[in-house]
Amino acid sequence: MSVSNVIPTSSFAVDGIRKDVRDIGASLIREVAHLGMGRGNIVPLWFGEPDQPTPEFIRKAAIAALEAGDTFYQPNRGITPLRDALAVYGNRLYGTALDRENITVTVSGLNALMIAMQSILKAGDRMVTTAPIWPNIVAMPKVLGAQVTTVPLHAGIDGWQLDIDEFIAACAPDTRAILINSPNNPTGWVMPAEDQKKLVEFATERGIWLIADEVYARLIYDGSDVAPSFVPYVSDDTRIMVINSFSKSWAMTGWRLGWITAPKGVGGELEKLMEFSVSCPAGFIQQAGIVALEQGEEFVASSRARYSRARAAIIERLRDMNRIHLPEADGAFYAFFRVDGVEDTLSFAKELLLSEGIGLAPGEAFGPEGAGHIRACYAVSEDRIHKAMDGLARFLAR
C-alpha cells in the first residue's frame, strides 16, 4: 500500500512522540487566557507581565540598530558590548568582580533556564525545588527525563516561608541540581540571605548544582534596590548558575532576551547549547538591551514604585473580602491568595472570566501545592486593580 492511500490517525503520530513530553500537561494559565483572548472588556491579570509597553528609549535603540543593518548572525554567547554591560550591571548591584567571561546572553530567561538544565541534567537525575512554582520550571527537567522533587513553601502570619532544613533534607543522593526561584512566582516569597549562604555551603559540599532564577530581582518592596542574590557566590569554586531576564524589570517580555551568570569555564559549554538550539539572540535586540542597562535605572525605579502602589491597593481590596486569605510577600508582582470553599480553581477562574471579564491564573497551574489559590498579576494600573477587584467581589457575593 502506498503512503498516499494510508489514512493517517492522530494517535499514530502522537504515539511517536516521547512519553516524557506527552506526559507533560498543557499550561492551565494559557487555558484560561485562550478562553478570554479576543473578548472585549477583559481585565487580564493572568500572565506575569507589565501592562505598559517597553520604554521609548529602548525601542528607539532597536530601531536604530535595525536601520543600521544589524540583522545578521551574532556570537552564540552574545555580543561583547552587552556581555560587558551585564558584568558592569552585576558588579554595581552586588559588589562583585564579574567580567564578560561570566556572562552568556540568551534568547529569554526561559532559554537560559533550559540550557542551564540541559548542561547539568540527564535522564534519571533529580532536581529539587520549591512549590508552588512557575510550571515551566518543573516541566523542563521532565522534558529531559529527569525527576523533580518539590518542597512546599508554608503560608503563615509572617507570609510565605521555606524551612531550609526541610529543603536540604529533601536532597536525596541522586540530586544533581537545586533550583531556587526568588523572588518567587507565584507567591512573591524572597529567600533570606542567611538561607542562601546555608544552601550554597550545602550544595558545594555535596557537589550539587544550584540554579537561581532571579528574573524578579529588582522587584522588591522592602526598601531595597535588589533582592538577596546568589550572584556573589558565583566562582570557579562553586557550581552556581544565576538566571536573569530583561522581561520584568524593563517591560521587555516580548523581546526574549536574558542572560546567565556562571563560573567562567562554564560559558564555553553553554555556548555549545546556544549554537545547537537557537544559535544567538538577535543583534538589534541586544543593542536595545545595552541601552536598557545603561539608561534604564529611572524606569526600573518608577516601575517598582508603580507596582508598589498597585500592590498596596490589591492587598487592601483582597483583605476586605471575607473568603480571601492573602499571605503578604515582599517580591515579584503577584498576589497569590486562597479562596475559602474553592478547590477547583481552574473552573473558578473560567467562570470568573466568563461572568465578570476578570482574567486570573488558577493555583493548580503552579502544582498541587497551589490548590485552592488564585494568582493575580498587579503590574498594572490601580484603575485596573480596582476594576478587577470589583468584579471578584461581585462574583464571590453570589
Which CATH number belongs to the domain containing residue 196 in this structure?
Answer: 3.40.640.10
Return the CATH number at 351: 3.90.1150.10
Reference 257, options 58, 90, 101; nearest CA is 58
**Residues sharing a CB contact under 8 Å with residue 54, sequence separation 6 or more, in sequence order:** 250, 251, 252, 254, 255
Predicted TM-score (pTM) of this structure: 0.95
For the chain, how many residues are written? 398
Residue 82 lies in a domain: yes
Phi, psi angle pair for 31, to nearest 5°: -60, -40
Shared domain for 244 and 139, answered yes or no, is: yes
Residues 350 and 368 in one domain: yes
Other beta carbons within 10 angstroms of residue 45's beta carbon come to 25
Q: Whole-angstrom Cα distance, residue 238 to residue 208? A: 9
**How far apart, in Å, are the Cα atoms of 23 and each of 18, 20, 27, 130, 355?**
9, 5, 13, 21, 32
**pLDDT for residue 9:** 52
Q: Is-contact 289 259, C-beta < 8 A? A: no
Three cell numbers, residue 373: 489559590
Per-residue pLDDT at 279 = 98
Is position 360 within any domain?
Answer: yes
Q: Indicate if 325 and 286 belong to the same structural domain.
A: no
Residues 126 and 172 in one domain: yes
**What integer best gives the mean pLDDT of the chain?**
96
Indicate whether 111 and 173 sit together in one domain: yes
pLDDT tens for 199-254 read 999 999 999 999 999 999 999 999 999 999 999 999 999 999 999 999 999 999 99
Three cell numbers written together for 349: 477562574
Same domain as 184, residue 83: yes
Specify the number of domains making up the chain: 2
Residue 2 confidence class, pLDDT cut points 50, 70, 90: very low
pLDDT of 1 above 90: no
The answer to whether 132 and 257 have CB atoms below 8 angstroms apart is no
Does 61 reside within a domain? no
Transcribe 149-172 into DSSP letters.
EEEE-EEETTEEE--HHHHHHT--
| pLDDT for position 221 | 97
Q: How far is CA 339 from CA 129, 302, 317, 363, 387, in A?
A: 25, 32, 14, 10, 19
In a domain, 64, yes or no: no
pLDDT tens digits for 252-271? Answer: 999 999 999 999 999 999 99
Question: Are 201 and 247 in a shared domain?
Answer: yes
The mean per-residue pLDDT over the stretch 34-46 comes to 92
**One domain for residues 149 and 243:** yes
Q: What is the mean pLDDT of residues 365-384?
A: 96
* pLDDT score at 118: 98
Residue 63 lies in a domain: no
The model's confidence at residue 40, banded by pLDDT at 50, 70 and 90, is confident
Residues 335-357, mean pLDDT to the nearest whole number: 96
pLDDT on residue 39 = 87
Instruction: Give me the amino acid identity at 342.
Output: V
Domain ranges, residue 12: 3-54+298-396
User: What digits encode the pLDDT tens for the residues 204-218?
Assistant: 999 999 999 999 999
Query: Do the Cβ atoms of 225 and 63 come closer than 8 Å?
Result: no
